[in-house]
Structure 1
């Protein structure tokens, strides 16, 4: 590999399962892809960039190739690493701690398995919370649509009742107007008849008055 490309590579290290793993890659993302990690191990504190000269030399000799060694060991990284020798029934025994390490430090340091299990539990809780949130959102959307449908139905009923009330009031008004027109027409006809009778009576009176006045005038002479 060209030297200028090697200078762009960095060595990243993590622990997955029963192995410590290291790889020379141009970025954290590329390292995660090489490890086949489904989550960001760097953000979780489970992976880091290393400048250990032995690890850097081994990975730079095979850039992009994931090298392994039994978890917790200080041996060299290689493409094919044997399982840890302290496995019992498929699980690793607790690794012996250096004598220089105090018991208080041992108690304070969390086990890798516990950290991994904690991350798994956190991930499960996050997925459960997300599923519960989506379920609640769907319930709220359904409830909102149900309420909107009920309001639309009530508005339709109110519109029908209003239209019916308007039609009833309009019909009553039209009937009253027709009744008034009929009575007014009858009154007008009666008035015309009375006018005609009054006019006839006036004519009869005028004739009678003239005759009587003439008789009175002759009687005086």
Structure 2
């Protein structure tokens, strides 16, 4: 019997703030969102991430499911795949010695009655299925990239291990040669010392004998 195709997982939009950016992604689960963000801890449990139903953010993420979208942190602009740094950060870097003036509190804008009552845009079933398929495609691409990077790291580790092994083998071989030569030199030195002692003993006897002969000759 033919295998049944796995049902597409419904995507949800998740949002967080990391570094200089707000980040959003359409993913089937919080875990998938954390993996895409590269988070090392559960940002949802920490209150640093959440699911959002903002229609503009949902629409943007559903256009590129599985892709992390960004905007400058604290801004209310659109989420895009490639976002500029926050403008206030650039201003601070350009004027390091000037203190930022406190921003005046802006009054919240009142939406027109018609806009306030306008229903949120929802993603229809066809678009949701299309987004889910696109997410799985992006997830496979990201997994392939991870495998490629892991293979490259494994290859580099193997190359480094071979280099270390070769260098260690050369060091061990040089040490053995040194120890062999040192032993030979030590043996030669011991033989020379023995010859020197033998010569000194022979000379002492000869010197004493000849000295005695000189003494007798003077008598």
So what's the TM-score if we normalise by structure 2?
A: 0.44
User: Per chain length, whose mean CA-contact separation is higher, i.e. which structure has more relative contact order (CA < 8 Å, sep 6+)?
Assistant: 2
Larger radius of gyration between Structure 1 and Structure 2: 1
So what's the TM-score if we normalise by structure 1?
A: 0.44
